[in-house]
Amino acid sequence: MSTPAAEGFFMPAEWAPHTRCWMAWPVRAETFPNGLPAARNAYAEVAKAIAQFEPVTMLCPDGEIADVSIACGPGVSVLPLPCSDSWLRDNAPSFLVNGKGDVAGVHWGFNAWGRNYEDFQPDTQVGRLILENQGLKRFAAPLVMEGGSFHVDGEGTLLTTEECLLNPNRNPHLSRAQIEAELAAHLGVRQFIWLAKGYEEDETDGHIDEIAAFVKPGVVLTMVTDDTSDPNYEVFQDNVARLRAAKDAAGRELEVVTLRTPARQEQNGVRLTLSYTNFYMANGGIVMPQFEDPMDGEAVSLFGKLFPDRTIIPVPALDIVRGGGGIHCITQQQPAG
């Protein structure tokens, strides 16, 4: 069976032009401790912010089309499609381009982050259904993989964590080298930068979008903390060291930009993964999280410097984070052909 890379496809960087953004309406009440209404309001605010820059398509159950349309407003189209969770970064397809105007997608295996819950079967088909809706070629990958577990720079470099991709609850039969080979074949990458661990108590087992992100070629933004008593302190220091020692696929040493995490917050005794790297890069804009924390202002200021040609839109994100993710986790960009 032919692979995307063999056919000239690769995954572009998130700053490449988009055709649209995909999201999914929250439907699992048990996911959101503050209730579905609060989560849905937060998702709608993210959708409306992104819709200022590019079209947004929101997946939802058949019976909720009218309510979702009213909540999200103009600029957000609604598509009835069965799914049991709303973290579309992780079960939507990873879209590919080939430089000739063609767009395709990788449909990964999905097992609810190592079977965090069991009623995930509808989510295993979301990638296929989105690609069929768009009339795009589908490449079925022989990997359990979530889109939030890796970042690419569009030039051949992939950034990820050992904690997630080497976790035995995903692909226990595959070695690191075999996982790299599959990612190279399906995303068109050739250089891998492995960080060790992710954010403390991240139920995704260390997704990269909670701790680091490419912001432009050769530049990575990563989270740090000054609190030496924080369990994240040594993890984040190791991440910075690995990034500074790494080179990308073009042979460049990385410029590493650091940003401090907000103060610790908990939900039912579990730490919330408050991370500014969990943002969405839209056409001409950045939709970034706010956590009702003094660090919010510093983060907005830094993003203004990192993205001088984009409009920065801060959006309250606590009601998303309480469900276990962030703005990047609930969105998936479809690149322009």
State whether residue 28 is helix, strand or coil. coil
User: What is the C-alpha separation between 209 and 199, in angstroms, rounded?
Assistant: 10
- The two tokens of residue 144 are 């359990």
User: What is the C-alpha separation between 35 and 32, in angstroms, rounded?
Assistant: 5
Q: Which of 21, 60, 83, 329 is catalytic?
A: 329
Backbone angles phi, psi at 175, to 5 degrees: -85, 170
The strand ranges marked E within the chain are 18-24, 56-60, 76-80, 94-97, 103-109, 137-144, 150-152, 157-161, 191-195, 212-216, 219-224, 255-260, 266-267, 270-271, 280-282, 285-290, 311-316, 332-335
329 is catalytic: yes
Q: How many residues does the chain have?
A: 337
Kindly report the CA angle at 171 between 240 and 180, in degrees rounded to 5? 55
User: What is the C-alpha separation between 264 and 266, in angstroms, rounded?
Assistant: 7
Q: Are 58 and 47 in contact, with CB atoms under 8 Å apart? A: yes
CB atoms within 10 A of CB 65: 15
Residues annotated as catalytic (active site), given as ranges: 329
